[in-house]
Structure 1
Amino acid sequence: MKLITIGDNVVDCYLDRNEYFPGGNCVNVAVNAKRNGASSVGYIGIFATDGPADHIKAAMREEGVDFHFSREAIGITGQPKVALTEDNDRVFVGGPKDTVQHRFKIQLIQEELEYLKQFDICHVSCYSSMESELAKIAKEIKVSYDFSNRKDLEYISSIAPFVSYAFFSAAELSEAELNEFIESLASFNFDIIGLTRGGEPAVFVHNQNIYKQTLRSIEVVDTMGAGDSLIAGFLTEYVKNYDIEKAMEKGTVSAEKTCQEYGGFGYPAKM
C-alpha cells in the first residue's frame, strides 16, 4: 500500500511543557501511515525557513517519508499554541497568522501529477488550501479528505465530486444530529465516510451501512493527532483489502498508540 499526503505542516507548541512537536494533519497521516505498514509514503507541502521546519523535516526523514517535491518559502512555520484545561484536555489557544501556509498555496505541476500515479491514495485536509487542485488530483488517484469540523453542506458539495474517502470531526453532535448529518451526506456518494466523536466511538458509513468503532480502555497520555492516526491506520488497511471492519480495527490500534505518547507522533523539541 502506497500513500501520499499534500498539505499542512506545523509544530504544536505545548505551553505547559515548553516543548513543540511536529504535526499538522497531513504530516501526521503520512508518518502514521508509514508506521502502520505502508510500503511507500510521500508528502508534498510548503516548508518555512526556520528551526521548526528543520525539525519537522528531520522527523519525517527518520520515519521514512519522502518529501522531495515539497516547496520551501522564506518565512515561519505554523505554530499553534496548545494549553491544558482543568480536565487536562489540550485546547488550541492561537498562534501566528503570517506563516508560509497562510501566505502561499501549492499548485501542482505535471511532473508532480505523474508522481502521484505511483501511489494508491492521496490524503488532503481542509487545512491544506488544496481545494482548487482536487480536480487535478482526482484524475490521477483516489482522494481522502479530512473536513475536520467543516460540516457546511455548501463547502462539502463544492469538492465532494473529487473525494472518495471523507472524514469529519463530529464530537459536538448529539446522536440525533449525527444521524441527520449522515443522511445529509448520502447524496454525495462518498465511498467511505468516517466521523470521529472525541471520546465516543467513531462511526463509519459504507454502502448505507453504519459501523461503530469498538473502544478499549487505555491509559491516555495525550490525544493530539489521534484522529489523524485513526485515518492513517484505517486507510493503510482498507486500501489493501477493502474490509471495513479490519480497517476500523487497524485505525483503532493506531490511534491508541498515538494517545500513549506526546504530540502527533513524538519528537519533542524545546521552545
Structure 2
Amino acid sequence: MKKRPRIIGIGIATMDIYCHQKRMYPGGNEFNIAYDAKLEGADAGFMGIFADDTVGGILEKTLTDAGIDTSRSHHETGSSGYALVNLQDGERVFLDWNKKGVTDLYPFQFTDAEIEYIRTFDVACISWGARVSKEMIERLAKGGVTICYDFYDNFTKADIQEISPYIKYGFFSCSHIGEEKTKEILEKCVGLGCRIAIGTRGANPAIAYDGREFYTQDVCKVKATDTMGAGDSYISSFLTNYLSVEADESLTTENKITASLKKAAEFAATVIVKDGALGVGYDVDPDRLSDIINL
C-alpha cells in the first residue's frame, strides 16, 4: 500500500541569474528537491538560511506559494546566495557565484528541537554544498534522522568514509568516471552502512546498488532546454517513489528500486525542458543586482 512520503531538504537556497536572458531562477540542491518532491506528491519541507534582502524573500515565497513548509528556516542579515549562469546547447555553465552568502556564513548546528522536527520527515536531504559538517551529519543520524546525502561529483575517499556510515541513501554524480569505477564507489558507500547508493552518469545509464545487486536505468532522451536541477529532480523523484512503496510487502526490493529509478529518469526528463531548475523565473537587471541582493 502506498503512503504519502514526507521529505525535507536542509541546505541551499540560491538564485541562478542568467544575464543573457535577464532572468533569474530560484534553486539550490535541497531547495529543488523540496519543490520537486512536492510536485511528485510528497509532503515537503525546506530548512535553509534566508537573507534579509529582496532575493531572500523571493526564494522563501517561491516555496511557501508551492505549499512547502519553511517554518524552521533561519533568517540572517547578509547576502542571498546567487550564481551567474550561461547556457551552451542546453547545458548550464556556472560563470561565477558568491562564496559568502548566508548559507556559507551561518551553518546549521541543530538544536534538539530542530532535530525533533526533522525526525517528523521520512528522510532529510543534505548535500556536500549545504555546509552541514560531518559532525552534524553524525549528530542528526544519532538523533534518529534518516539522511539522504548528495556527494556531488567532487567527492573524496574521506567523504565516503566519514559520511556513509550515517546515511541511508547516497547519490553520486559520476559522469566523469567509468562504469566500473562507479560501481566501486557505490559498493564502498553501501559497505560502510548506506542502504542504497546511486550514481547518475549524465547521458549514460544510472547505476544503483543495495548491497546485493546492481541496477541500471537508461535516461529518457529529450532535447534539453536547461539541465539545471536535473540531478536534484532525480533524487527527489527516486525518494518520493521509493518511500511510497518501501513498506509494501507485496513488492520485492528489486521491483521497488527498479520502478523508482524508472520514475526518476522520467521525471528528470520533464525538468530539463524547463527554464531554470524549476521553471519558475523572474525578470532581473544584471547591472543592478545590488538593488535586490546585499552585495
Fold shared by both chains (TM-score > 0.5): yes
- The 5 A counterparts of 1:120-139 are 120-131=122-133, 132-138=135-141, 139=143
1:90-132 Cα shifts (integer Å, max 9, x gaps):
2111112221122111111121111122211111111111123
Where 2:17 maps in the other structure, the secondary structure is strand
Report what 2:239 is aligned to. Answer: 235
Q: 1:176 to 1:117 in 2, by over 3 A?
A: closer
Report what 2:111 is aligned to. Answer: 109
Asked whether the 8 Å contact 2:90–2:227 carries over to 1, the reply is: no
Measure how far apart 1:56 and its partner are: 1.0
Report what 1:2 is aligned to. Answer: 6
Report what 2:92 is aligned to. Answer: 90
Separation of aligned partners in 2, 1:232 and 1:48: 25
Report what 1:147 is aligned to. Answer: 151
1:70 to 70, 73, 76: 73
Separation of aligned partners in 2, 1:140 and 1:6: 16
Superposition TM-score, scaled by structure 1 size: 0.94
Asked whether the 8 Å contact 2:87–2:226 carries over to 1, the reply is: no
- The 5 A counterparts of 1:96-245 are 96-131=98-133, 132-138=135-141, 139-242=143-246, 243-245=256-258
Structure 1: unaligned runs, 5 residues or longer:
none
Measure how far apart 1:70 and its partner are: 0.6
Which segment is superposed worse, 214-223 or 256-265? 214-223
Separation of aligned partners in 2, 1:264 and 1:149: 18
Q: 1:112 to 1:213 in 2, by over 3 A?
A: same
% of aligned pairs identical? 30
Separation of aligned partners in 2, 1:16 and 1:213: 35
- Indicate the RMSD between aligned Cα atoms, in angstroms: 1.5
2:18 to 14, 22, 40: 14
Where 2:41 maps in the other structure, the secondary structure is coil
Where 1:140 maps in the other structure, the secondary structure is coil
Structure 2: unaligned runs, 5 residues or longer:
247-255, 285-295
Asked whether the 8 Å contact 1:116–1:140 carries over to 2, the reply is: no
Measure how far apart 1:247 and its partner are: 0.9
Asked whether the 8 Å contact 2:72–2:114 carries over to 1, the reply is: yes
Does residue 1:265 correspond to 2:278, yes or no?
Answer: yes
Measure how far apart 1:233 and its partner are: 0.4
Measure how far apart 1:82 and its partner are: 0.9
Q: 1:82 to 1:114 in 2, by over 3 A?
A: same
- The 5 A counterparts of 1:246-265 are 246-265=259-278
The aligned length equals: 269
Report what 2:249 is aligned to. Answer: none
Separation of aligned partners in 2, 1:254 and 1:88: 17
Asked whether the 8 Å contact 2:225–2:273 carries over to 1, the reply is: yes
Which segment is superposed worse, 128-137 or 165-174? 128-137
